[in-house]
Amino acid sequence: MIKSTKKIDFDIVIIGAGLSGLSLAIEIIKRTKFTVLLLEKKRKLQKDKNWCFWNYPKNIFTTKYDNSWKNIKISANKEEIIKSDEYFKYLRLSSDRFYNLSIKILKNNNNFKVKLNSKIKKISEKKGFVNILVNDETVTCKMLFNSIPRPIVSNELKQHFLGLEVTSNKKVFNDKEVTLMDFQENNKLIHFFYVLPFSKNKALIESTYFSKTVYNEKKYIRDIKLYLSEKYPDCYFNFGFKEKGVLPMYSNKEKSLSNLIIPIGQTSNWIKISTGYCFQNAFEKSYQIVNKLINNSKISTKQRFINKFLDEIFCEFLSRYPGSAQNFFYNFFKYLNIKTIVFFLTEKQNFWDILKILKVLPKKELIISTFFLFLKKINYASRY
């Protein structure tokens, strides 16, 4: 697939120095002799988010974290669940450290080159090659991996959030415990807070919604300030770094007509739509791609049918029954052990894990959601 006699600039070009682009570049450089050019539109790679992930499966970043937690908390319906596991930890890695570590690894290889401040003007395929007009230069390669995301669809379910790093004048945070979901009472939409304590007086507080409507930035900030005032009424907080995002809770329809221009990342459904989990999955998808490059076979990172099916049913359920979301997630964490949850997030679950998951979730609503999901798919197929 990547053989040619024409003079080219690079075997592989990757657009985007984010999670998917860097994880793929590392995997290619580590396991092949291909020359790789990484193009990034930013002038500088600096902190823009906090990456959070489980320490399974192992990769080069599972020992390079900034924080780790063994205790995981979920709050819903005025009740709490706190779980831990001897073998599993929840990790945080600041994105600037991720970028710096990744580029350092890549620059040690002579087959790799990165160009920042790269504006992609045109991509074209001709006679088995890909030409990229970047700034005022044309780069030719045998294969292009493109991580530019698709626009978020306005009338589909989304996970949208804004987080603030806050510092308290008192030691009020339990730095041994991360709160994955602290649900707020609301029958019309799904709203919860995500709390990552970096220390006893510093944490990331994130206001997260599952809905079709994305809000003005000021709303999320008001949410966070109100949450802090109610949780810690006697404390004063300074506000620091801000991160925000919008993640699709629907599957992108893969329509790549080229074997040489391959979408990766969000466009290729690397984000688990039911949860937004993606860090570990990016490394798994990158590993699959390099296997295919080595074997000179067609590149594909399609999600296993059962994983995609479960994700789409769960998202259909959340869209139709937002008032039941608290019970949905509460039972998910209450009755499943950490291992099963991590295997679900990283799509390593087996048949018995799937049965365990389905057993604890609401049957009637899931059946109805499955029915309407099938109707959507039939309607989509009839139009295309």
The whole-number average pLDDT for the span 257-268 is 91
List, for residues 116-160, the tens digit of each pLDDT value. Answer: 999 999 999 988 899 999 999 999 999 999 999 999 999 999 999
The two structure tokens encoding residue 323: 């008032």
Q: pTM of the predicted model, to two decimals? A: 0.93
3-state secondary structure the chain: CCCCCCCCCEEEEEECCCHHHHHHHHHHHHHCCCCEEEECCCCCCCCCCEEEEECCCCCCCCCCCCEEECEEEEEECCEEEEECCCCCCEEEEEHHHHHHHHHHHHHCCCCEEEECCCCEEEEEEECCEEEEEECCEEEEEEEEEECCCCCCCCCCCEEEEEEEEEEECCCCCCCCEEEEEEECCCCCCEEEEEEEECCCCEEEEEEEEEECCCCCHHHHHHHHHHHHHHHCCCCCEEEEEEEEEEEECCCCCCCCCCCCEEECHHHHCCCCCCCCCCHHHHHHHHHHHHHHHHCCCCCCCCCCHHHHHHHHHHHHHHHHCHHHHHHHHHHHHHHCCHHHHHHHHCCCCCHHHHHHHHHHCCHHHHHHHHHHHHHHHHHHHHHC
Confidence label for 256 from pLDDT (cuts 50, 70 and 90): low
pLDDT at position 5 is 45
The whole-number average pLDDT for the span 336-352 is 94
Residues contacting 193, CB < 8 A, separation 6+: 179, 181, 182, 184, 205, 206, 207, 208, 223, 224, 227
Confidence label for 21 from pLDDT (cuts 50, 70 and 90): very high
CA distances from 20 to 267, 305, 339 (A): 11, 22, 25
Phi, psi of 98 (to 5 degrees): -60, -45
pLDDT at position 361 is 87
pLDDT at position 383 is 65
Q: Which residue has the tokens 């609401």?
A: 362
Q: Quote the percentage of the chain above a pLDDT of 90.
A: 85
If one counts every other C-beta atom within 10 angstroms of the C-beta of residue 372, the result is 14
Q: What angle, 0 to 180 degrees and rounded to 10, lies between the N-to-C axes of helices 95-107 and 19-31?
A: 30
The residue type found at 40 is: E
- Strand pairing partners for 172? none
Residue 277: closest CA among 91, 7, 21? 91
Q: Does the pLDDT value for residue 41 go beyond 80? A: yes
Instruction: Return the CATH fold of 158-248.
Output: Alpha-Beta Plaits (3.30.70)
* Spatial separation of the C-alpha atoms in residues 315 and 249, rounded to whole Å: 6
Q: Does the pLDDT value for residue 350 go beyond 80? A: yes
The whole-number average pLDDT for the span 109-115 is 97
pLDDT at position 4 is 45
Confidence label for 384 from pLDDT (cuts 50, 70 and 90): low
Gyration radius of the chain's alpha carbons: 22
The whole-number average pLDDT for the span 361-383 is 85
Instruction: Kindly report the average pLDDT of the chain as a whole number.
Output: 93
pLDDT at position 63 is 95
List, for residues 275-325, the tens digit of each pLDDT value. Answer: 999 999 999 999 999 999 999 999 988 888 889 999 999 999 999 999 999
Q: Which residues of the chain are in CATH 3.50.50.60 domains? A: 10-70+90-151+252-294
* Spatial separation of the C-alpha atoms in residues 346 and 57, rounded to whole Å: 8
- Decide yes or no: CATH 3.40.50.12780 for domain 10-70+90-151+252-294: no
List, for residues 166-217, the tens digit of each pLDDT value. Answer: 999 999 999 999 999 999 988 789 999 999 999 999 999 999 999 999 999 9
Q: Which residues of the chain are in CATH 3.30.70 domains? A: 158-248
